[in-house]
Amino acid sequence: MPHRFGAVVIGAGSFGAWTARELRRRGLAVTLLDAYGPGNSRSSSGGESRIIRMGYGPDDIYTRWAMRDLELWRELFAQTGQPLFHRTGVLWFARTQAQDPYNSASLDAFRRLSVPHQTLTAADLKRLYPQIALDERITWALLEPESGVLMARRAVAAVVERAIREGVEYRCSKVAPTSGEGRLEAVLTPGGDSISAETFVFCCGPWLGKVFPELLGDRIFPTRQEVFFFGLPPGDQRLGPPALPTWIDLGEEAYGMPDLEGRGLKARGPSIRGSTVSRSPRRPGPGGAGLPVRKHLQRRLPARPPPHPSQRLARRRRLRPRVQAWTLGR
Ligand X SMILES: Cc1cc2nc3c(=O)[nH]c(=O)nc-3n(C[C@H](O)[C@H](O)[C@H](O)COP(=O)(O)OP(=O)(O)OC[C@H]3O[C@@H](n4cnc5c(N)ncnc54)[C@H](O)[C@@H]3O)c2cc1C
The verdict on 160 binding ligand X (CB under 6 A) reads: no
Of 56 and 139, nearer to ligand X (C-beta) is: 56
**Alpha-carbon distance 87 to 68, whole Å?**
16
Q: Which helix (H) or strand (E) holds 84?
A: none
The verdict on 323 binding ligand X (CB under 6 A) reads: no
Q: Which of residues 283-302 bind ligand X (CB under 6 A)?
A: none
**H, E, C per residue of 206-240:** HHHHHHCHHHHCCCCCCEEEEEEEECCCCCCCCCC
The verdict on 162 binding ligand X (CB under 6 A) reads: no
In 3D space, the residue among 46, 45, 41, 44 whose CA is nearest the CA of residue 327 turns out to be 41
Q: Quick one: which of 90, 175, 254, 267 contacts ligand X (CB under 6 A)?
A: 175
Question: Is 251 in a helix, a strand, or coil?
Answer: helix
**Alpha-carbon distance 18 to 55, whole Å?**
22
**What would the x/- binding string for ligand X be over residues 42 to 71, using CB under 6 A?**
-xxx----xx--------------------
The identity of residue 237, as a single letter, is Q
Segment interacting with ligand X, rule: CB under 6 A, options 96-104, 135-143, 199-207, 258-266: 199-207
Q: Is 190 exposed, middle or buried (0-12, 13-18, 19+ CB in 10 A)?
A: exposed
The verdict on 171 binding ligand X (CB under 6 A) reads: no
Minimum distance from CB of 98 to ligand X (Å)?
27
Q: Which helix (H) or strand (E) holds 241?
A: none
Give the number of other Cβ atoms within 10 Å of residue 27's Cβ. Answer: 9
Minimum distance from CB of 232 to ligand X (Å)?
20
The verdict on 227 binding ligand X (CB under 6 A) reads: yes
Decide: 110 and 265 in contact? Cβ < 8 Å: no
Segment interacting with ligand X, rule: CB under 6 A, options 94-102, 161-169, 202-210, 289-297: 202-210
The verdict on 200 binding ligand X (CB under 6 A) reads: no
Q: Which helix (H) or strand (E) holds 176?
A: strand 176-177
Segment interacting with ligand X, rule: CB under 6 A, options 41-49, 71-79, 304-312, 313-321: 41-49
Segment interacting with ligand X, rule: CB under 6 A, options 1-9, 89-97, 125-133, 197-205: 197-205
Decide: 45 and 13 in contact? Cβ < 8 Å: yes
Check whether the bond before 242 is cis (ω within 30° of 0). yes
The verdict on 177 binding ligand X (CB under 6 A) reads: no
The verdict on 14 binding ligand X (CB under 6 A) reads: yes
Question: Interface with ligand X by CB under 6 A: which residues?
Answer: 10-16, 33-36, 40, 43-45, 50-51, 174-176, 203-207, 211, 225, 227
